[in-house]
Amino acid sequence: MHRANRTLATAGGLLLATALTCTGTAMAASAPVSSAAVAAADCRPLANAPAQAQAIVNAACSQIGVPYSWGGGSIHGPTYGQDYPGGGPGAHDSRVKGFDCSHLVQYAAWQGAGIALPEGTWNQARWSGATARFTPSQGTAPLQPGDLLLWGSDPANLGSVHHIAVYLGNGRMVEARESGTLVMVSDVRLNSQYAGALRIAGSEQPPTNTKRFMTWGTQVGLRPDPGTQRPPVGRLPGPTAVDVLCQVHGERVTAEGYTNDAWSYLPKYKAWISNIYIDDAAAWLPGVPNC
């Protein structure tokens, strides 16, 4: 049971609207793509960093060579994007399976460290879970691999951020840059649009003996038992990272044409959620023990 596509459908036009962040054609104030793109072997942490930060880098580097696609990508991997309305190289990105800049970063954070970043570069730039922030004037000196680099039309306003990349160290980064290119390693561009950086490593990690997943849908009910007979004890307003302790077979639930009787226990909420609302390819979650 795969829910990645259903996540987009559930959000209506909203998720895709917020996902379209990097430009489908050449980025403003960017240098031509040239020898800055290097082989996958060169994509790795280039300085000392905590294990969590290195895992973020490694996840981003695992996508080297994947095409850029405007609006493409998810926490699970590349997806088909949307045609860039401005034309140019991105005019046919609905036929290209890949990542845009924000979804590459979102993928790296989730797959590498279980960190759930929001949709959209401007939302990622302002993410409240950042553990440190760095100004443009600081350059790259205080940065570590795994930090997120930002560019905006008004660097003083994080709401204007239109491009984001993962820092490797030593003045290098991995990015999904623009339509017609592949995920690549580049030199950090400390130009007039550079808006600084933020650190996401060090964010809250799954408690011991739990496994982190993402939910889909809105107003998903959390129940006191693995069933729907009793009122919800809480609701998840939208896609949310949840830490699952164990799972059982309970009441059969049908949604979006799928039926599933598996339920997972969420110790943070002291409640149960139907597995049908967990965004994973398997109905019975892999790596999660029976309760």
On whether the CB atoms of residues 145 and 168 are closer than 8 A, the answer is yes
Distance between CA atoms of residues 72 and 96, nearest Å: 8
Catalytic: which of 22, 61, 163, 178?
Answer: 163
Catalytic: which of 22, 101, 162, 178?
Answer: 101
> 180-210 burial string, b = 16+ CB within 10 Å, else e?
bbbbbbbebbeeebbbbbbbbbbbeebeeeb
Distance between CA atoms of residues 35 and 26, nearest Å: 16
Catalytic: which of 43, 61, 119, 175?
Answer: 175
Residues of the chain with pLDDT under 70: 1-21, 23-41
Under DSSP, the state recorded for 268 is T
pLDDT of residue 283: 94
pLDDT of residue 20: 53
pLDDT digits (tens, 9 = 90+) for 181-202: 999 999 999 999 999 999 999 9
Catalytic residue list contains 163:
yes
List the 271-274 sheet strands across, edge first: 246-255, 258-266, 271-274
pLDDT of residue 34: 42
pLDDT of residue 24: 64
